[in-house]
A and B are shown apart, each in its own frame.
Chain A
Amino acid sequence: MSAQASSEVTTVVGLGEICVSSALDEVLMCLGIGSCIALCVYDPIAKISGMAHIVLPHSNGARPAEISPKYADVAVPLLLQEMCEQGAIKFRLVAMIAGGAQMIMPGSGINFNTGQRNAEAVMAALEREKVPVLATEIGGSKGRTVRMLAWTGKVFVRTSGAKEKELELEALRREYGKGNDSR
């Protein structure tokens, strides 16, 4: 169950935005995401969190002026860079991903699989950067709201019509526990 202290400072990470924080009381949020991806990255030693609200998979074809973190292939390296500028160390970073729903099912006459393509693009970009993905809550056909506690890196996901739950962090603890030298 998630504690939601009244002293929390909530920062909403809007469409195509990224945010980095290590504040003790700050909560980063992506609200009501469907095909978008909430990418949550954490440095467990420096206790620095980063969140990106990714809308589209690839920036190829976009005009230079339109290149922004709304694209997965831009958001991932930019978020990691900003986190490292604020004291995170790249090899310690771990990622958690939520979103990528397919809001409209195949056969409805509308071909939108943006959610799946977004998820694949984020995973591929993280792999290129050698950042392990420790927990995911992706796909399905329902919207989600994602909260990340900046200090602890804990990520909570509420799917439409369901209760909020914490993304499985055992993987993070195992990863952290065995040391980070292997990466």
Chain B
Amino acid sequence: MKKRPSTEEVEPSRWAELVAKGTLNAVNGLSQMVGRKLEIRALDLRRIPTSEAANLVGGATNEVAAIYLGISGGATGHIMLVYPTEVAFGVVDMLMGYEAGETQELGEMETSALAEVGNVTGSFFLNSLGNDTGILLHPSPPVVMLDMAGAILDVAISDIMQERDEIFAMEALFTASDRSVSGTLLVLPTGDFMDSMSEYSL
């Protein structure tokens, strides 16, 4: 029987190092894509009860734009790139060459542009983590959602809560000098993910 996951099995400093490197890679990828210099303002690794997960993105009823990617392969988990809605529209303006403020809703093209932002960010993160650990990690096709933060998080939380009632969250806040593309990168591994890390990364 597969052993039960335990976040404590992964040495915190090693895990933090892997995640920091992956996040830096992801933000570099995003930076190239949007053509702006981005900085990681905060990188936080936390183990919190699932009931508090919505606080990671400003509260359950906070309306946000999120790009979701599932992680599959040698480990499973969830990646979410979360923006305040107006910031997501600004990112679309920038990518599509629109005037600032032009995007007011997400059509097919705009959704596709945001999906690509998530794709680049998630892929760069997973590539870094995969290279360092030797674990094959595949991102799913990105899904763009405009909704209440709690409802979006349900996608990951309902999966994680099949195993346990806490999440091991990696939260990275990144900003540009004009803050127009500031967002939050959330990585929510399943217990299985942490288990794989403990087996391969140390």
Contacts and interface: CB of A to CB of B under 8 A. Distances in A.
B161 A15 contact: yes
Contacts of B74: none
Contacts of A66: 163-165
Interface string B110-148: 000000000000000000000000000000110101111
B91 interface: no
Interface string A92-114: 00000000010111001110101
Contact of A36 (B145, B147, B154, B165): B154
A56 B54 CA distance: 18
A57 B140 CA distance: 24
A132 interface: no
Contact of A34 (B50, B146, B155): B155
B60 interface: yes
Contact of B152 (A17, A70, A143, A144): A143
A57 to B, nearest CB: 10
Contacts of B146: 160-161
B165 A33 contact: no
B145 A145 contact: no
A31 B147 CA distance: 12
Given A104-B68, A143-B150, A145-B148, A31 B61 contact: yes
Contacts of A160: 63, 146-148, 151
Interface residues of A, number: 31
A14 interface: yes
A15 B162 CA distance: 13
B32 to A, nearest CB: 25
B104 interface: no
Interface in A14-63: 14-17, 31-36, 55-56, 62
A161 B151 CA distance: 13
A36 B154 CA distance: 7
Interface string A142-159: 111100000000000000
Interface in A108-152: 108-110, 112, 114, 142-145
B54 A32 contact: yes
Contact of A32 (B61, B141, B158, B164): B61
A137 to B, nearest CB: 14
A66 B147 CA distance: 30
B158 A114 contact: yes
A168 to B, nearest CB: 22
B140 A108 contact: yes
Contact of B151 (A16, A17, A105, A143): A143
B61 A34 contact: no
B167 to A, nearest CB: 11
B54 A104 contact: no
Contacts of B152: 34, 103, 143
Given A70-B161, A70-B165, A160-B147, A31 B155 contact: no
A48 to B, nearest CB: 24
A143 B51 contact: no
A145 B61 contact: yes
Those 9 A-B pairs whose CB atoms lie nearest each other, nearest first: A143-B151, A32-B150, A32-B60, A34-B151, A34-B154, A143-B148, A32-B148, A31-B60, A14-B51
